[in-house]
Structure 1
Amino acid sequence: MTRKTGTLYGIGVGPGDPELITLKALRILEQTPHIYASTSSKNTYSLALNIVRSHLHEAKVEQLPFPMTREPEVLQEAWEKNARRVLEVLTTGSDAAFITIGDPLTFSTFGYLLKTIKDFEPTIRVITIPGITSYHAAAALIHTPVSEGEESFLVVSGALGAAKLREALSVTDTIILLKTYRHIDEILVSLEEMGLTDRAVCISRCGLEGETVVQDIRSLKGQSLPYLSMMVIKKKGKYF
């Protein structure tokens, strides 16, 4: 007889505020015996784990290290090692959950882990619980619609600077630029060249201690921004 495998839950726990987690996510966490959270291979800090820590009871929490690198071979080795670790639990018939900030299928470690697990064991049952994204929380904080009527918006990573910014703004009405912390000066120059400096707001650590909203983004030049920083850039409309 083939042993029944457990279910893998990918759970988005929201952008940072512990109250911005869904009832469904809480219910799954309360009944799942094995919970995994990603950390950098250089430390053991996990924002996702901090968010849900007060909601956890008897669950076993294990942190999976992922290197902060762009080297494909190093990353692949980490995905495979961590996927096998999760599969060790699932193949015993026990359920497991992987928690991630924001939404588990939007710029998330879970997407890579899921693909690798499926490559190893295509029949593994997976249930994904969506979470509130950082940019929706930021829009709520600044009381600004992400889009209205026939408007469109794009979510773009700023991890490599302003490389995609000009192209993105040519085809949409609003840009959500994530991960602005590393190349803020380059981004500021691009926005100035496009005449959009006064159409952008920078939000850092949304929903967390140290939360800031900067409307005069010129003041950010030369500054060191927190890792959790983003910009909302609107070509039309207004901020409230």
Structure 2
Amino acid sequence: MDGRQGTFWGLGLGPGDPELVTLKARRLIQEADCIVVPKSSIAGESLALEIARPFVGDKPVLQFEFPMRRNERELAPYWAAAAAEIADRVGRGERVVFLTLGDCLTYSTYCYVLQELRKTLPESVIHSVPGVTSFAAAAAATSFSLGEKDERIAVVPVPRGDLGPVRRALEEYDTVVLMKVAKQLPAVVRLLQEMGLDGQAVFASHVSQDGEFITRDLASLLDNERGYLSVILVRRRGGDGR
């Protein structure tokens, strides 16, 4: 493309509200030659693409499916295929942007595609733009202070099996952000009840999206399936974990 050097940008678009997309991310989308978005096998259109629609216009969009699995060996071919297409376009001088929910470097598929791209592209053409995380948006929506003075904060993905790592984080840190709650939601609620922390927690799902749900009544979630795209904020004292 006229001898121009191609570039690749990973863009965090925030949790869902288009007004939370940074000015830089918006500009880069508008300047891009090609838009790349991840798509899960269980969803319809990519949520990231829905957020960016007002800025995409008629630009070509490549949607890569990434199955909802945890086995890295099974997922590796999907990451490699996306990276190969991106690298080819960057090599031809295109400006390519990869859109993700939240922050692009926080529990994002982008991280794995980035690892693949570093095998073939120079660091000078690879860039990342931060976005508002779901837990920052949840804290703002509930005026929940994540940390004050010298308090310690932990961001913990909820494991599928034993909740020992979650218990230890809750015992050790002043504020704990629980992510990837999913089907473990009832078990996490029971653990918080056992530790006497359920009254100092906030549950939020689909923050700033259609279907947003926020509650402090964690007991109401015991027979609930709201764990997808959710976060739980837990604070041992004050701020207003209550």
Compute the TM-score of the two structures, normalised by the length of structure 1. Answer: 0.93
Q: How does 1:1-240 map to 2 (within 5 A)?
A: 5-123=5-123, 125-158=125-158, 160=160, 162-239=163-240
Q: Give the Å deviation of 1:89.
A: 0.6
1:125-177: CA deviations, max 9, x gaps? 11111111111111000011110111111111125263421121233100111
RMSD: 1.7
Partner AA of 2:145 in structure 1: P
- State the secondary structure of the residue aligned to 2:18: coil
Letter in 1 for 2:101: I
State the number of aligned residues: 238
Return the structure number with greater helix share.
2
Of all paired residues, the percent bearing the same amino acid is 35
| 1:6 Cα deviation after fit | 1.0
Give the TM-score normalised by structure 2. Answer: 0.92
Structure 2: state its 5+ residue gaps.
none
> What are the ranges of 5 or more consecutive residues in structure 1 without an aligned counterpart?
none
C-alpha separation in 2, matches of 1:79 and 1:44: 20
1:35-65 Cα deviation digits (max 9, x unpaired): 1000014554211000010111232111011
1:21 to 1:159, Cα distance in 2 relative to 1, 3 A: farther
Distance 1:13 1:209 in 2: 16
Q: Secondary structure of the equivalent of 1:19?
A: helix
- SS across alignment from 1:175: strand
Per mean C-alpha deviation after superposition, the further-off stretch among 39-48 and 17-26 is 39-48
Distance 2:48 2:78 in 1: 19
Whole-Å Cα distance in 1 between the matches of residues 44 and 186 of structure 2? 30
- Distance in 2 of aligned mates of 1:163 and 1:64: 35
Offset of 1:76 from its aligned partner? 1.1
The alpha-carbon deviation at position 124 of structure 1 amounts to 5.7
- For residues 77-123 of structure 1, give each alpha carbon's deviation from its aligned partner in whole angstroms, at most 9, with x where no partner exists: 11111110111111101110000011100111111110111023345
> Which residue identity does 1:65 align to in structure 2?
E
Change (3 A) 1:132 1:163: same
Q: Structure 2 vs 1, CA of residues 35 and 197 (structure 1 numbering), >3 Å: closer, same or farther?
A: same
